[in-house]
Every structure is written in structure tokens, then in C-alpha cells.
Structure 1
């Protein structure tokens, strides 16, 4: 069975995280109870699994597994001879994932509390490595991708999904309002991430991975005004360059003013169908060369 070297990663049943990731783990644990209510998450994770070349018996690592969308679908495809390891920094998300696995009585899957940027598996362990929706949250994307590639067997694949720069209309509007007040929270690292096909291709090349495919897809849909307004909560998301969060230095009146401006901007986008959410994403597949 594939196992993480827990003695170097976990102390007192907790992952050793910097402050940025501690805050990130806390936020996702708070979201874990209703995370699966979003149809978008299951839609894009299914596309990532569909995009990859999964075979019965594959050994698969799912990084930032969340509530197990990718890991569980993969486990049902690879059969009893395959194995899935799902890792996440959020204990709350993993608790939900384990509940779903128990209900489905899946025996070929395990979950571990671990940081995707600081893991230590034997080289050439996995046929496939997935990371759905969380790659933009990695602090050092180039180094992280190189690390993951060492765990791949020759001929193995890394499959990534991430949001494009204009993927979420609410986030685009939010960042615009914050920038008008001189604040750059770098929500989901959209202003400092791999936001073009060429950048993804370059990252794969730096990790010595063959470029199989880098595609953009649109999963757009109309959202209600109230649902789009909930994007305001992203102002409390951490990023490596913003610890502590700049909003902690502002008065409650200043924060309420920015929130009001955000909602006013959204109200200008309303149509009879709702607010159009672009939903533009990247699907990325790289392969480790065969020696």
C-alpha cells in the first residue's frame, strides 16, 4: 500500500503548515459541510477524470482532493487492482470524503492529511496524478509540479484543472473593486498564476513533462444576484503575499463601503436570466517521458 512518510509531515495528527496554509485549511474545513452542494465542482472534476487516460489497475494520487470528487470517481474506474490516495490540508474536507467512501463501500481508496507541496512518496509510484481546482493555490507552482513529476512512473500522466483569469465573473468584479481601493488580495492568485496556455506549456516543460494537451473550456452558467454576491467572502481568503490580510487594517466602515460598491457593480450585470458566470477553465495533461 502506498503511504506518505507521516513522521516527516505530521505532528500530533496535524500537518505542519505555514500561516497561509493554516488559514486556507481553516476556511475549507468551514466550507466542508456544504461544499458538495455546488454542481460546478462535480462537473469540472468529472471533466478532468474524463480528460485523462485512466486504466484498470492504475495507481493514482489526487492532490487537494477536497471531499473526494476526483478520487471517488477514479476509484470506481480502476477496479480492485487499482489504488487511489487522496490528500488534503483540510481535515474537514477529508472527513466528508471518508463518509462518502464508507457509504459507497469502496476499498481501493485512502485519504491522508498532507500538504501537496510537501509530500514524500517513493519515486515512480503513480500512473496518474490529479489536482483539480487547487493548482492556482500552490505557493510555488513550478517547484511543485517538478516535485509531483518525480512520483510519476515513466509514461505516467499529470492532469490539472484550474480557473482561467476571467473564469468567475464575481471574482473579476471583486478584484476590480479592491484594486480601486489600492488593495490586491490576489484572489485565487489570478493575477499571479498560469493564466495562458503558453504559461502552462512552459511549466510542463520546466518539469520535464511532455505536453499532451492544454485546453480551455467554458462551463458558463447564469447565477442569481444573491449567489454572485457571495463571492464577497473571498476577501477573507489568504494568499502567500498577503499575510496578514490587508482588510484587517481597515475600519468596518471602509469594508462596508467596498462591499456596497461590489454589489452595485454586480447589479449592473443583472439580466432576466441572472448574471452570466463565464466559467472558463484550463484542462492540462502532461506525461513523464519513458526512459
Structure 2
């Protein structure tokens, strides 16, 4: 599964770096998390650097942020897009979050996952990265709520009509009750949750079909060209109707519910 994810994001790197709603989630999430000035932060699944650069602004010149991602293309995009100022307190590495060597009880102040935890084995990742935090250090993640956003829900519902079951990777991690219970069971206290609704602008929705096909390509191989074309037509029709309804309601885009979670490693 992880090689498939890396390949999917290799193809998505250019488009992802221009994703307005992912950038907005990263900035909003990092602000909510409340990183401290001078903190040393590990950003797991950093992608093209939205959350890494947001965290770097929060920790200031005395702090530092290391962005970790499985996709070489995403990391390359992050490195080339960094401003001279951002390069002073950020760095990026290409690595598998499940295999990278980590020392327990490191002097890491915070570990963050911005829209990346659902691509990992969540409980294992929370346990693994929680161990490297200093006592009292913070672990925080942002994840879509179940069946969010609306374009994904439409894709999942229509795919079912073609005999394809699309997994909802946020089914667990996008629920506050799961988050609180799981973090507490993994040795975290002071667990906080918050739900933010982020609008997906039309410029991002234009490519929704291509994004879903890229991410779920292995599951779509059972469809012949005619079926895939019919699926595409149905999806674009339904998505256009949803966009038009949102516009008539005065909304700037289709809203997506995003859960923010944080906890402190018990001393």
C-alpha cells in the first residue's frame, strides 16, 4: 500500500502544491495547535510543506521544523518552494514514517500530522511518534471527519454502483471520541479536539475527479473504458449540482469538516 501512496503523490505533487484548501487547513490547524516559540517540531507527512512552513512561522528563528514525507516529488516541491527565510528553520527528508529510525525520549517538543495520519497505521503511528516526544511534549493531528469532503462522498457513493468499495480512511481518526480514547490509551493527557469547516474553492474542485482516480487507481482497474467514462460523467454532473447549490446559498465553496486533535505526553 505505501508504494502505491508514494506513486500517487508523485503524480499529484504539482497540483497539490497549489491546493488552496490544504494550505488553509494547515495554517488553521497549526495556529490552533499552539506551538511555542523555539519549539523543535517534526511534521510527519509534510507533503509540499504547507504545515511545515506554518509551523516554522510559529516557532520562530530559535525553533526548527523537520518535514518528513514518503514522496520524493512532494519533498522536492517543498524544498524548491521554500523562501530564503523559511529555509533558515526548516528541513525536509524523504522517509517512510513507519520505518525511519527514531530514538525514544528525544528532545522533540511537538509532532504534527496535517492531513496525513490516515495514510499511516494510525494507532501504531501515534504510539511510535509519541515515544520520541519529551515529557509534556505535544502530538497533534488534523483529519477529515468521516465521509468528508463532499466530493469524496459523491465519489464513494457512485463507485458503489459499479461494485467498487472505496475505503473511508478517516472513519476512525475523524471522530473525536475515537481520538480522545486512543490518545489517552497511548499515554497522552490534556487531550483537546476542535472541528473546523474549511471551504474547498472551485479552483480545487475542478480537479476532484483526477485526484480521486489517482488515489484509488488500483480499485478502478475492474472498470472497462465505457464504465469509467460513465462513472466520470455521473460524478461531474453530481459535483456540478453540489457546487451550484453551494453558490446559490452564498457559500464560497463546498465545506469540509476537519477534526483537530492534540494531546500532551504524560510525564
Q: TM-score, normalised by structure 1?
A: 0.82
1:195 partnered with 2:180: no
2:221 alignment partner, SS class: helix
Q: How many residues align?
A: 261
TM-aligned CA deviation for residue 105 of structure 1: 5.6
Indicate how the Cα distance of structure 1 residues 216 and 249 shifts in structure 2: closer, same or farther if over 3 A, else same.
same
Q: Which residue of 1 aligns with 2:222?
A: 249
Indicate how the Cα distance of structure 1 residues 229 and 102 shifts in structure 2: closer, same or farther if over 3 A, else same.
closer
1:74 partnered with 2:55: yes
Indicate how the Cα distance of structure 1 residues 105 and 256 shifts in structure 2: closer, same or farther if over 3 A, else same.
closer
1:65 partnered with 2:46: yes
Which of 240, 245, 255 lines up with 1:271 in the alignment?
245
Unaligned runs of 5+ in 1: 1-19, 239-243
Q: TM-score, normalised by structure 2?
A: 0.88
1:217 alignment partner, SS class: strand
- The CA deviation string for residues 67-116 of structure 1, in whole angstroms up to 9 with x for no partner, is 11222222233234322211001111111211233533632222111112
Contact 2:150 2:254 in 1 (8 A): yes
Indicate how the Cα distance of structure 1 residues 204 and 272 shifts in structure 2: closer, same or farther if over 3 A, else same.
closer
Q: Which residue of 2 aligns with 1:127?
A: 109
1:30 alignment partner, SS class: helix
- The CA deviation string for residues 125-154 of structure 1, in whole angstroms up to 9 with x for no partner, is 21000110111121x211111101001110
Partner Cα distance (1:171, 1:73) in 2 = 26
Partner Cα distance (1:221, 1:232) in 2 = 14
Indicate how the Cα distance of structure 1 residues 268 and 41 shifts in structure 2: closer, same or farther if over 3 A, else same.
closer
Superposed, 1:121-200 pairs within 5 Å as 121-125=102-106, 126-138=108-120, 140-186=121-167, 189-190=169-170, 192-200=171-179
Partner Cα distance (2:20, 2:208) in 1 = 16
Which of 22, 29, 32 lines up with 1:41 in the alignment?
22
Contact 2:21 2:199 in 1 (8 A): no
Indicate how the Cα distance of structure 1 residues 69 and 229 shifts in structure 2: closer, same or farther if over 3 A, else same.
closer
Q: CA RMSD in A?
A: 2.2
Indicate how the Cα distance of structure 1 residues 221 and 85 shifts in structure 2: closer, same or farther if over 3 A, else same.
closer
TM-aligned CA deviation for residue 246 of structure 1: 2.8
Unaligned runs of 5+ in 2: none
Partner Cα distance (2:190, 2:225) in 1 = 48
1:245 alignment partner, SS class: helix
2:13 alignment partner, SS class: helix
Partner Cα distance (2:213, 2:51) in 1 = 27
Q: Which residue of 2 aligns with 1:25?
A: 6
Indicate how the Cα distance of structure 1 residues 116 and 103 shifts in structure 2: closer, same or farther if over 3 A, else same.
same
